[in-house]
Structure 1
Amino acid sequence: MAETIEEIASRVRELRELEKVTAEEMAEYLKVPLETYICYEEGKTDIPASKLFEIGQRLDVEMNLLLTGEEARVRIFTVTRKGEGVEVERRGQYKYQNLAGKFLSKRAEFFTVTIEPKKEKPAAYSHPGQEFDYVLEGSLNFSIHDNEIILNEGDSILFDSSYKHSMEARGERPAKMLVVVI
């Protein structure tokens, strides 16, 4: 199931308004210019997954609600079959698939992330918490806090995600990772 940027943007705006949080307050919370935040809500600019995570925290909602419009309901377990995770349409270099969106009161978010090879340097993002990345396929350059690390299939990294970080596929093949945001 692929959700469009416009659908997600509309949900973010509606939930923000229901919580009586102004666009200015949200932009300040996310540490982005107001103009950037307004473009997020208008669907003109893709909302990075790290910012969606922060928006969910600020509005006290599960990320699944932002991604799909559906409340998480499952308390005991959830199974996501291959290819059935909620995909978020990305304009950038990363394609996300949420793997456990239906589970209620998660303490982490679980994704597969596919990183397409590109010529330009990817933008760096930060978000609260910690992140664990495990390379399933391919090879990538991982950048964090002035450090460049090459990660190959089977390698993993756990890091403080409040530091700006980015990933870039090496070579001509995409890289695929399991990502856990805590």
Structure 2
Amino acid sequence: MELGEKVKYLRNKKKMTIKNMSELTGLSTGFISQFERGITTIDVKHLNKIAEILETDITTFFTTEHPLQPSVEQDIIVRGYLRPYIQHVNRVVHFNLGRFNDDLTMSPEYIEIMPNETKEVPAPYTHDGEEFLYVLEGVLTLSWGDQDIKLYAGDSAHFNSDYPHNWDNMSDVVTKVIIVHAPKSTN
């Protein structure tokens, strides 16, 4: 997505018109329209002002980590080719399957867990909310209290997270899982 498209997306998300933006920046409506369509460029001073008005940091316009998408439809859709990468912790790669929206309570993720060389299930722990796991590929070992349960492709688990639990990949191949935390995980 181009710079102007990102500005337009954020402006629309704040339900702000081009006229509002013009009044707040001192730039003409025609200029703002042309900038958002990629017809003209903008200087850093005005881009900083726009970022301030949109209550964001100027770096938001240049980052690709969490792609901004330009339509109302895209406020609820995450395209596979634009799936935002969240983090890579130890041997687990997390991808967000939902929109970054503070109004929503679920946190759906697609994760890929690399094989565990030690073959030891991590210690169970508790947290608020509930958790849903669906194994797409590989074998996931769910530690549930003092039990270790293997989940295979097509298996799922849904539970209150206040019971001691954890999970890991004890196999020799990558395990792919859909996981949903509700409310959103703060980890």
Q: Name the TM-score, length of structure 2 as normaliser.
A: 0.52
Question: Which residue is 2:164 aligned to?
Answer: 164
Q: Distance in 2 between the 1:129 and 1:165 partners?
A: 13
Instruction: Using the aligned pairs only, state the percent identity.
Output: 29
Contact residue 124 and residue 145 of structure 2 kept, 8 A: no
1:170, distance to aligned residue in structure 2 (A): 3.7
1:136, distance to aligned residue in structure 2 (A): 0.8
2:134 is the alignment partner of 1:118: no
1:93, distance to aligned residue in structure 2 (A): 2.6
Q: Distance in 1 between the 2:134 and 2:104 partners?
A: 20
Aligned residues: 113
Q: Distance in 2 between the 1:75 and 1:83 partners?
A: 16
The structure-2 alpha-carbon separation of the partners of 1:89 and 1:108, relative to structure 1 and needing over 3 Å to count, comes to closer
Q: Identify which of 81, 88, 91 aligns with 1:90.
A: 88
Q: Which runs of 4+ in 1 moved over 4 A?
A: 74-77
Q: Distance in 2 between the 1:138 and 1:172 partners?
A: 9
2:116 is the alignment partner of 1:108: no
RMSD between aligned residues:
2.8
Q: What letter matches 2:127 in structure 1?
A: H
The structure-2 alpha-carbon separation of the partners of 1:76 and 1:87, relative to structure 1 and needing over 3 Å to count, comes to closer
Question: Which residue is 1:149 aligned to?
Answer: 149
Which sections of structure 2, spanning at least 5 residues, go unmatched? 1-64, 183-187
1:127, distance to aligned residue in structure 2 (A): 2.1
Q: Distance in 2 between the 1:95 and 1:123 partners?
A: 20
The structure-2 alpha-carbon separation of the partners of 1:150 and 1:180, relative to structure 1 and needing over 3 Å to count, comes to same
SS in structure 2 opposite 1:113? strand
Which sections of structure 1, spanning at least 5 residues, go unmatched? 1-66
Of structures 1 and 2, the larger Rg is shown by 2
SS in structure 2 opposite 1:181? strand
Q: Distance in 2 between the 1:167 and 1:156 partners?
A: 12
What are the superposed Cα offsets for residues 88-137 of structure 1, whole Å, 9 maximum, x if unpaired? Answer: 33232321111113345112111011111112333544321000101111
Q: Name the TM-score, length of structure 1 as normaliser.
A: 0.53
Question: Which residue is 1:134 aligned to?
Answer: 134
Contact residue 78 and residue 103 of structure 1 kept, 8 A: no
Q: What letter matches 2:180 in structure 1?
A: V
SS in structure 1 opposite 2:89? coil
